């Protein structure tokens, strides 16, 4: 029988890498989507060794760049392969950022990486996922959204061109958009063999060395926060569950927490008009 293929973006560290190991351990072919060749190759070797599965490969992709996303999708499409699971875990969340950064496509990088990138990549691979007997698309949001229940997408200025930038605001907005995108895509694909679900990631230990520009005070606060965090491996179990469990093969359009329980999201995020408005502006970015 043909092996099932799982592609995870941002799998060279943290939860994505832990999920890649767990899913490879289950015998899947795993493709890790990374933007840096050295970090990607190091992770690839570790994933192969820890999972005892050599069927792991590296796909170069920078989720901030539409050109890179298209190139990565073309690379996969040229091989005419099916894709069973697509997990969008790559994210831009540099908490030290004080001013917005704009990508070569002239899109604010948090918005580009965390929201526009996953929408574009999914759209370019959807016909490959339709080749799967039961395709699964998994998006990633944050439990932190529960302390911002009234957060809205700034439809008129999602990239902070005219409004004051806050990296936290940009990050949570992008994660809220991913939840709304999940609901929209699940509805679009309701008559297909593809399910679409979102993971609401809780407070998970991060390797703070990966963020060298973070101030001492921020590092100190992270130290305290990490005492209440779960490990990437623990959180990755939900990724693995959503990616591989037969139990949920027909569940779509839901958010899951770290205990694999279905959780709700804000009233705003579930409103169909709000979802359609978001997706209308989102589609304008897809050239």
Ligand X SMILES: NC(=O)c1ccc[n+]([C@@H]2O[C@H](COP(=O)([O-])OP(=O)(O)OC[C@H]3O[C@@H](n4cnc5c(N)ncnc54)[C@H](OP(=O)(O)O)[C@@H]3O)[C@@H](O)[C@H]2O)c1
The residues of the shown chain that bind ligand X, judged by CB under 6 A, are 9-10, 12-16, 35-36, 39, 61-64, 89-93, 113, 140, 142, 144, 201, 203-204, 206, 210, 232
CB of 133 to ligand X, least distance (A): 27
Provide the pairing of β-strand 56-60 with 85-88.
unpaired
Residue of closest CB approach to ligand X: 14
Any bridge partners for residue 204, and if so which?
230
Q: What's the closest the beta carbon of residue 93 comes to ligand X, in angstroms?
A: 5
Which CB, 13 or 240, lies closer to ligand X?
Answer: 13
Q: Which CB atom, from 132 or from 232, has the smaller least distance to ligand X? A: 232
d(CA 78, CA 80): 5
What is the rounded CA–CA span in Å between residue 179 and residue 145?
10
Report residue 56: phi and psi, to 5°: -130, 135
The smaller minimum CB distance to ligand X, of residues 92 and 159, is found at 92
User: Which is nearer to ligand X, 63 or 129 (by Cβ)?
Assistant: 63
CB contact at 8 A, 86 and 4: no
In whole angstroms, the minimum distance from the beta carbon of 108 to ligand X comes to 13
Structure tokens at 275: 């979802």
Minimum distance from residue 267 beta carbon to ligand X (Å): 21
| DSSP secondary structure letter of residue 4 | P
Alpha helices by DSSP H, 82-149: 109-111, 117-129
* Residue 10 vs 135, nearer CB to ligand X: 10
- Which residue lies nearer to ligand X by CB, 14 or 135? 14
Question: In this structure, what are the phi and psi dihedrals at residue 59, rounded to the nearest 5 degrees?
Answer: -120, 125
Nearer to ligand X, 3 or 168 (CB): 168
Report the alpha-carbon distance of residue 40 to residue 207 in Å, rounded.
16
Residue with tokens 């990633």: 140
Nearer to ligand X by Cβ, of 131 and 165: the residue is 165
Instruction: Give the separation between CA 13 and CA 38, rounded to whole angstroms.
Output: 12
Shortest CB 272 distance to ligand X, Å? 25
Supply the minimum distance, in Å, between the C-beta of residue 287 and ligand X.
Answer: 18
Could you tell me the smallest distance in angstroms from the CB atom of residue 29 to ligand X?
20
Spatial separation of the C-alpha atoms in residues 242 and 199, rounded to whole Å: 9
Q: Are 98 and 149 within 8 A, CB to CB? A: no
Give the distance, in angstroms, between the CA of residue 196 and the centroid of all CA atoms in the same chain.
Answer: 12
* In the complex, least distance from residue 62 CB atom to ligand X, rounded to whole angstroms: 5
For tokens 């093969």, what's the residue?
Answer: 249
Is the Cα torsion angle 60, 112, 77, 13 positive or negative in sign?
Answer: positive
């Amino acid at each position: 029988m043909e092996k099932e293929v799982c592609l995870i973006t941002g799998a060279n560290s943290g939860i994505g890498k832990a999920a890649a190991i767990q899913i490879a351990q289950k015998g899947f072919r795993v493709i890790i989507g990374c933007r840096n060749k050295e970090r990607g190759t190091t992770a690839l070797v570790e994933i192969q060794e820890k999972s005892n599965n050599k069927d792991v490969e590296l796909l170069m992709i920078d989720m901030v760049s539409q050109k890179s996303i298209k190139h990565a999708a073309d690379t996969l499409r040229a091989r005419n392969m099916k894709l069973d699971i697509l997990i969008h875990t790559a994210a831009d969340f540099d908490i030290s950022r004080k001013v917005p950064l704009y990508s070569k496509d002239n899109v604010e990088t948090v918005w580009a990486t965390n929201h526009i990138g996953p929408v574009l990549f999914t759209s370019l691979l959807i016909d490959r996922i339709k080749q799967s007997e039961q395709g699964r698309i998994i998006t990633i949001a944050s439990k932190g959204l529960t302390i911002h229940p009234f957060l809205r997408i700034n439809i008129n200025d999602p990239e902070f061109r005219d409004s004051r930038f806050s990296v936290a605001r940009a990050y949570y907005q992008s994660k809220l958009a991913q939840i709304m995108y999940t609901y929209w895509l699940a509805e679009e694909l309701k008559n297909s063999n593809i399910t679409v679900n979102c993971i609401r990631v809780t407070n998970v230990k991060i390797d703070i060395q990966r963020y060298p520009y973070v101030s001492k005070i921020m590092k100190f606060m992270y130290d305290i926060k990490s005492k209440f965090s779960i490990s990437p491996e623990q959180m990755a179990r939900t990724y693995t569950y959503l990616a591989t469990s037969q139990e949920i093969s027909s569940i779509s359009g839901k958010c899951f927490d770290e205990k694999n329980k279905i959780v709700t999201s804000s009233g705003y995020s579930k409103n169909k008009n709000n979802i359609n408005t978001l997706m209308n502006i989102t589609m304008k970015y897809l050239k």
